[in-house]
Structure 1
Amino acid sequence: MVNMRLLWLCAATLVVLASAGTLKDTPKQRFDNYGVYKLTIRNRIQLALIEKIGEISNKYDIWKEYDEHTKEVHIMVSPEELKHFQELLKVNDISSEQMIENVQELIDGEQVTAAADSGTFGWTKYYELSEIEAWLDSVLAAYPTVTEEFIVGQSYEGRTIRGIKISHKAGNPGIFIESNIHAREWITSASATWFINQLLTSEEPAVRNLAESYDWHIVPVFNVDGFEYSHAKNRMWRKTRQPHATNECIGADANRNFDSHWLENNGASSNPCSETFAGDEPGSEPEAKALVEYLTQIKDQFSVYISFHSYGQYLLSPYGHTAAEFPDNYADLLEIGEAFATAIEDLPYGTVYRYGSTADVLYVATGTSVDWVFNELDKKVAFTIEYRDQGRYGFILPPVQIIPNCEELMAGMLALIDKTKELGYI
Structure 2
Amino acid sequence: MKIILLIVVLINLVISSNGFKKSYNNFKVYRIIPKNKDQLNALKEIEQNPSYIFWNEVSYVNRSVDIMVPPILQNKFSKILQNFEHKLWIKNVQDLIDNENVVESKSTFDWHNYHDLDTIYDWLRYLSVYYPHVSLVNGGISYENRTILGVKVSFKPGNKIIFLEAGIHSREWISSATVTYILNELLTSNDPAIQTIARSRDWYVFPNFNPDGYQYSRTKDRMWRKTRKPYGGCYGADPNRNWNYHWMDGGSSNWPCNDAFAGSSPFSEIETKSLSHFISGISYNIEAYIGFHSYSQVLMIPFGHAGLEVPANNVELKRIGNITATKLSEKYNTKYRVGNIPEVMYVGSGGSSDWVLGTNRHIPYVYTFELRDQGKYGFLLPPDQIIPTGEETFDAVIAMMKEFDKKK
TM-score by length of 2: 0.92
SS of the equivalent of 2:374 reads coil
Deviation at 1:70, TM superposition (A): 4.6
> Does residue 111 of structure 1 match 2:101?
yes
Contact 1:179/1:308 (<8 A) preserved: yes
SS of the equivalent of 2:56 reads strand
| Deviations, residues 371-402 of structure 1 (Å, cap 9, x unaligned) | 11111012231011000000000000000000
Deviation at 1:207, TM superposition (A): 2.0
CA distance in structure 2 between the partners assigned to 1:341 and 1:132 by the alignment = 28
Deviates more, 1:254-263 or 1:266-275: 266-275
Contact 2:107/2:119 (<8 A) preserved: no
Q: 2:245 aligns with which of 254, 260, 267?
A: 260
User: Is the alpha carbon distance of 1:170 and 1:361 closer, same or farther for their aligned partners in structure 2, counting shifts above 3 Å?
Assistant: same
Contact 1:112/1:125 (<8 A) preserved: yes
Contact 2:303/2:354 (<8 A) preserved: yes
Deviation at 1:271, TM superposition (A): 1.4
Q: 2:86 aligns with which of 73, 76, 96?
A: 96
Contact 2:15/2:220 (<8 A) preserved: no
| Deviations, residues 3-27 of structure 1 (Å, cap 9, x unaligned) | xxxxxxxxxxxxxxxxxx9868331
Deviation at 1:64, TM superposition (A): 1.3
Q: 1:200 aligns with which of 187, 202, 205?
A: 187
Deviation at 1:67, TM superposition (A): 4.5
> Does residue 377 of structure 1 match 2:364?
no
Deviation at 1:303, TM superposition (A): 1.5
CA distance in structure 1 between the partners assigned to 2:199 and 2:61 by the alignment = 40
| Aligned residues: CA RMSD | 1.9
Identity of aligned residues (%): 41
Task: Specify the code of the residue in structure 1 equivalent to 2:24.
Answer: F
User: Is the alpha carbon distance of 1:268 and 1:242 closer, same or farther for their aligned partners in structure 2, counting shifts above 3 Å?
Assistant: same
Structural mapping, 1:110-259, within 5 Å: 110-111=100-101, 120-143=108-131, 145-244=132-231, 247-259=232-244
Contact 2:166/2:293 (<8 A) preserved: yes
Deviation at 1:113, TM superposition (A): 7.8
Q: Which residue of 1 aligns with 2:10?
A: none
Contact 2:15/2:22 (<8 A) preserved: no
User: Is the alpha carbon distance of 1:356 and 1:375 closer, same or farther for their aligned partners in structure 2, counting shifts above 3 Å?
Assistant: same
Q: 2:71 aligns with which of 74, 79, 82?
A: 79
Q: Which residue of 2 aligns with 1:35?
A: 28
User: Is the alpha carbon distance of 1:274 and 1:51 closer, same or farther for their aligned partners in structure 2, counting shifts above 3 Å?
Assistant: farther
SS of the equivalent of 1:273 reads coil
Deviation at 1:415, TM superposition (A): 1.1
| Deviations, residues 329-363 of structure 1 (Å, cap 9, x unaligned) | 1110111111111101122x100000010011211
> Does residue 56 of structure 1 match 2:39?
no
Contact 1:343/1:415 (<8 A) preserved: yes
| Deviations, residues 66-103 of structure 1 (Å, cap 9, x unaligned) | 3437521111111121110111222xx21210111111
CA distance in structure 2 between the partners assigned to 1:198 and 1:261 by the alignment = 36
CA distance in structure 2 between the partners assigned to 1:324 and 1:118 by the alignment = 45
Aligned residues: 394
User: Is the alpha carbon distance of 1:141 and 1:24 closer, same or farther for their aligned partners in structure 2, counting shifts above 3 Å?
Assistant: farther
Deviation at 1:324, TM superposition (A): 4.1
CA distance in structure 2 between the partners assigned to 1:43 and 1:260 by the alignment = 31
SS of the equivalent of 1:71 reads coil
